[in-house]
Amino acid sequence: MLISVVAVSAVGVMLGVRFKAPALIAATGLLLIGSFVWNSLGLPGYVTVAKFLILAFALACAYIVGLFLSVHRRRDER
């Protein structure tokens, strides 16, 4: 689970630095679809609703961190 949170957080930061809010909505949708596909294929590490919510929260928080980094970087360029 820790590796999943780290991976989702890294994606969230990258999205926040480069893209705006619609990308976060799309990434959350892809996370939901990926969770359903993961569970339907019967792969190890069944994704429960609680795990999905933790991953979605980590994605959103990391996205906000990416937005702050983007704003800070643009301010330094001026």
Q: What is the pLDDT of residues 8-49, one digit of tens each?
A: 999 999 888 888 888 889 999 999 999 999 889 988 888 888
Evaluate if residue 2 carries a pLDDT over 90. Answer: no
Contact 65, 13 (CB under 8 A): yes
At residue 78 the predicted structure's pLDDT band, cuts being 50, 70 and 90, is low
Q: pTM, whole model, 2 decimals? A: 0.82
Burial 21-56 (b: 16+ CB within 10 A, else e): eeebeebbeebeeebeeeeeeeeeeebeeeebeebb
* Cα–Cα distance measured from residue 39 to residue 45, given in angstroms and rounded to the nearest whole number: 8
To which residue do tokens 């994704």 refer?
Answer: 47
